[in-house]
Each structure stands twice: as structure tokens, then as C-alpha cells.
């Protein structure tokens, strides 16, 4: 493996984060804090507890997942789209660097940014409500798996997109609504039976449920099902990326 090439791509992408610190880190943290204050104050005054957990504490895992999903996709999609836009992608493809090393560099950097952001948001939430993580290893496992999976998904979007507007289309029109409807601010057990069934078709439900279980040992679906769905989506994204490089889809034309 050409570790030097992976390191070069990784360091370049991470350096872009520090150059745009306000947009990459500060803005998502402030936005999430506003969500926390608004939802915690407006809804928390009416819903004091959810399954024995105070509402303000209950929504923390959902807020973390909301930011991690969005930022993973945004960072990875822009990271690979910009070389396509300016034409340097052809230099990368012609260099003695394997496809695996290219993906590892870009996706690794995007996932790292999302993990750092998620941990910062957790620390920020601790300033508002008391947090106790029952299973920190599982919490980190879900955080890392989610970051890597959706960074791969963002990588796919970056290759598919042929304009800057398309980079925002999938996160804004699909991912964000799915996250809001996936139990970020409530338990799906609070929904009518028919809507509970519909909610189970939302893949984000499984991510948030597993992540929330690692905090409070309460979940909408079992831990094994949450982990299975997360790993399945990861495998699907890896397969699509493999197909893209095998066929040269929107890379060689």
C-alpha cells in the first residue's frame, strides 16, 4: 500500500478543515446548540420525560447523528467533487495510487472530521444537560461506523454530481428529512401504530436507535438489528464505490 499517497490526500483534506474552521466546525456546533435550546425549551416544557429520560437528555444522540450524517456527506462529496471540477482528478487517477488508497484518503479524512465534530457536540451538550454514557465502546462504534458509511455515501454523491447544486440536493431533500423523521427528537413508539410501521422503512431509525441505546439502554429496535442495518448500508456503499472505479463512471469522461 502506498501510505505516502494516502497520507498526502488525508492531510490535504484535513488542512482544508482548519482553513475553513468557522464553516466546518463552529457553524455545525452552533446550529446543533440552537436545535438543542429551541427543541429542549419548546418541547421539553411539554414532554418532561421519554421512557424515563428527561427530554433534553433524550434528544442528544439524535442531534449528534443529525450533524454527523450531514457533515459526513458534505465533507466527502465536496472533497472528491472539487478535484473533478478543476480537473486534478485525472492527475490523481494517473498517479501510482490505487483506487482503494484514493478512497481511503478522502473517506478517512471526511470520517475523521465527522467524528471530531460529533465528540465536540457531545461535549457541548454536556454543558446543557447531565450526560451518562452506559456503553462508551458501543457509542464510539456506532459513531465511527456511521461516519465512515455516510462519508462513503457522500463520496458517491460527489462523483455522481455534475454541479454544485447537486451536492446539496441529496442531503437537503433526502438525508435531513429522513433524520428528522427517524426519531431524532422523539421515540417512534410515540407514533400511531401505522406510522410506526412506516418509520421502520427509514434507515436512519436504526442508526439513531443503536446510538441512543449506547447512552441510555433504550431503543426503538434491537441493538443487533441496528448494527446489522448499519453494516449492510456500509457494504452497499463499498460495493457502489467499487463499481464506480471498475467502470470509470463519471471519472473517465
DSSP per position, 168-216: HHHIIIIIHHHHHTTTSSS-GGGS-HHHHHHHTT-HHHHHHHHHHHHHH
Q: Compute the residue count for the chain.
A: 253
Q: Count other C-beta atoms under 10 Å from residue 240's C-beta.
A: 16
Q: What is the pLDDT of residue 45?
A: 64
Q: What is the pLDDT of residue 40?
A: 65
Three-class secondary structure of residue 127 per DSSP: coil
Q: How confident is the model at residue 237 (pLDDT cuts 50, 70, 90)?
A: very high
Do 205 and 182 form a contact (C-beta atoms < 8 A)?
yes
Question: Mean pLDDT of all residues in the chain?
Answer: 87
Q: What is the pLDDT of residue 149?
A: 95
**Model confidence over 96-145: pLDDT tens digits?**
888 899 999 999 999 999 999 999 989 888 887 888 899 999 999 999 99
Is residue 23 over pLDDT 80? no
Do 139 and 43 form a contact (C-beta atoms < 8 A)?
no
Q: If 0-12 CB within 10 Å is exposed, 13-18 middle and 19+ buried, where does residue 146 land?
A: buried
Q: In angstroms, rounded to a whole number, what is the distance separating the alpha carbons of residues 38 and 32?
A: 10
Is residue 241 over pLDDT 90? yes
Q: In angstroms, rounded to a whole number, what is the distance separating the alpha carbons of residues 68 and 74?
A: 10
For residue 29, how many C-alpha atoms fall within 13 Å in the half-sphere facing its CB? 21
Q: Which of 23-27, 30-34, 64-68, 164-168 has the highest mean pLDDT?
A: 64-68
**Model confidence over 68-96: pLDDT tens digits?**
998 899 889 998 998 888 888 888 888 88
Q: What percent of the chain has pLDDT over 70?
A: 95
Lowest mean pLDDT among 59-63, 137-141, 230-234: 59-63
Is residue 25 over pLDDT 80? no
Amino acid at each position: 500500500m502506498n501510505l505516502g499517497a494516502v497520507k498526502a490526500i488525508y492531510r490535504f483534506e484535513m488542512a482544508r478543515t482548519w482553513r475553513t474552521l468557522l464553516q466546518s466546525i463552529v457553524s455545525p456546533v452552533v446550529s446543533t446548540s440552537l436545535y438543542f435550546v429551541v427543541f429542549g425549551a419548546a418541547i421539553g416544557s411539554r414532554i418532561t420525560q421519554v421512557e424515563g429520560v428527561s427530554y433534553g437528555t433524550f434528544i442528544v444522540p439524535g442531534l449528534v447523528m443529525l450533524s454527523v450524517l450531514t457533515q459526513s456527506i458534505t465533507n466527502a462529496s465536496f472533497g472528491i467533487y472539487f478535484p473533478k471540477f478543476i480537473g486534478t482528478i485525472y492527475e490523481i487517477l494517473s498517479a501510482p495510487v490505487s483506487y482503494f488508497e484514493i478512497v481511503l484518503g478522502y473517506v478517512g479524512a471526511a470520517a475523521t472530521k465527522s467524528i471530531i465534530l460529533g465528540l465536540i457536540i457531545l461535549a457541548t451538550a454536556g454543558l446543557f444537560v447531565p450526560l451518562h454514557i452506559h456503553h462508551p465502546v458501543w457509542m464510539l462504534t456506532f459513531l465511527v461506523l456511521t461516519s465512515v458509511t455516510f462519508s462513503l455515501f457522500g463520496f458517491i454523491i460527489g462523483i455522481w454530481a455534475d454541479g454544485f447544486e447537486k451536492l446539496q440536493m441529496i442531503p437537503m431533500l433526502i438525508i435531513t428529512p429522513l433524520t428528522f423523521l427517524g426519531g431524532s427528537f422523539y421515540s417512534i413508539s410515540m407514533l400511531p401504530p401505522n406510522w410506526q410501521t412506516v418509520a421502520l422503512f427509514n434507515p436512519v431509525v436504526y442508526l439513531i436507535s443503536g446510538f441512543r441505546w449506547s447512552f441510555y439502554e433504550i431503543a426503538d429496535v434491537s441493538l443487533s438489528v441496528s448494527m446489522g442495518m448499519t453494516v449492510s448500508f456500509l457494504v452497499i456503499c463499498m460495493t457502489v464505490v467499487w463499481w464506480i472505479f471498475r467502470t470509470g463512471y463519471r471519472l473517465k469522461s
